[in-house]
Amino acid sequence: MKPTALPVLCMLLALTGCQAPPASDVDAGFANPLVRQRADPHVTLHPDGWYYFTATVPEYDRIELRRARSLDQLGKAEAEVVWRKHAGGEMGAHIWAPELHRIDGKWYLYFSAGRADKVWEIRLYVLENSAENPFEGEWIERGQLKTGWESFALDATTFAHRGQRYLSWTQVAPDGSKGTNIYLAQMDGPLAIRQPAVLLTRPEHAWEKRGHWVNEAPAVLLRNGRVLMTYSASATDANYALGLLWAKEDADLLDPAAWTKSPQPVLRSSDKTGQYGPGHNSFTTSPDGKTDILVYHARNYRDIVGEPLRDPNRHTRAQAIGWRADGMPDFGEPVADRKVRDQ
C-alpha cells in the first residue's frame, strides 16, 4: 500500500466503523535498518525539505548530526561531529539521547550526560546554535537544564502546544524512590522550565519493570484531537517496549488526571519479524506530510552477552503508523529487516 493512500483509507474506515490495518501492513517500505549502531534516534523533517537526524553513538562520547532528503538516505549521509564530551568533570561521560530542535530562530540540542568522575551522575544539558544551518555556526554550551531537584535525569524532549512550550523528561523522583519516572513542565524559553513539574507516569505494570523499573524517553505527537506521548519501559534488552499516554488537546496538560495510560505496551519485541527491544522513538512524517512515521531503535537478535548498554547493535528503524477508526495510533509490530526498498 502506498503511504499517500493511508489518510484516505483511514477516513473511509472511520465512516464505516471498521478498524484500520495494523502499522505493519501499511509500512512505507523503508530500507530498515536505516542507520546501523545508532540508538535513541531523533528525526525531524524541517520546512527546508531535509530530514535532520541525531542519535546516541555506541561510544557515548559525542554528538553527531546528519541530514538527507529521504529517510532511506540517512544511513549513507555524512555524519558531522558537532560536539564532543569533556575530558573531565561534567559532560564527561554517557553522552546520550540528543534531540535537535529549532526554536525561535535558533537550533538547540538537548542531551544527557554524566560526569567523567561520576559517570552515573547524569543530568540534562543544552547546546545552542544561532546559524541558519545547524552544520554551520558555533554550538555553544548553555549548561545544565535544571529540573528543580538533583538526581539521575535524561531523555529531554520539547514540544509546543496551544501557544505554550513544554519540556518532558525522565528522572528519579525527588524522594529517591525506585525507578525512573516521566515528568512534564512548561518552559520559560528554550533553556529553563517553570515550576512546578508534574509526574505523568512511573513504572507500575509488570512489563515496565523487567530488568529495571523504567519509564523513559518521552516523545510527543499531536493528532486527532489528542496529545499522544510514547515512552519506553524496562531494561534495554529484549524486554524494552513502547508505552503510550494520551490527553485531550484542550486539556490542562499539567493536570496528571488529564492523561490516560495504556495498560499494555503498544510496541514490543517480535519473534515473527525478528526485532527485539523496540523503543526510544521520535516521530516524523513523509515529505508530503500525509503519513506519520515512527522512528525507533531495535536489535535484530534477542540474546545479548553481558550488559545490554555495552552492546552496540541498536539500529535506527522506521515504519508508517496505522490509525484506528477512533483516531488512536496502531503501531503494529516492529517490521522485519529489508535490504532493498520497494520501488
Taking CA atoms, 201 is separated from 45, 102, 186, 230, 343, in Å, by: 28, 27, 17, 11, 42
Q: Is 40 a catalytic residue?
A: yes
How does strand 315-320 pair with strand 292-299? antiparallel
**Which one-letter amino acid corresponds to residue 141?**
E
Cell (9 digits) for 240: 524494552
State phi, psi for 3 to the nearest 5 degrees.
-60, -30
Q: Distance between CA atoms of 247 and 231, rounded to whole angstroms?
A: 14
Cell (9 digits) for 117: 568522575
Long-range contacts: 49-52, Cβ < 8 Å, 24+?
49/287, 51/284, 52/100, 52/134
Angle at 69 between CA 67 and CA 70, to 5 degrees: 100
The string over 17-45, giving b where at least 16 C-beta atoms fall within 10 Å of a residue's C-beta and e elsewhere, is eeebbebbebbbbbbbbbbebbbbbbbbb
Catalytic site residue from 40, 72, 237, 333: 40
Q: Is 99 a catalytic residue?
A: no
Q: Distance between CA atoms of 142 and 155, rounded to whole angstroms?
A: 17
Cell (9 digits) for 70: 529521504
Catalytic site residue from 72, 90, 99, 216: 216
Supply the residues annotated as catalytic.
40, 216
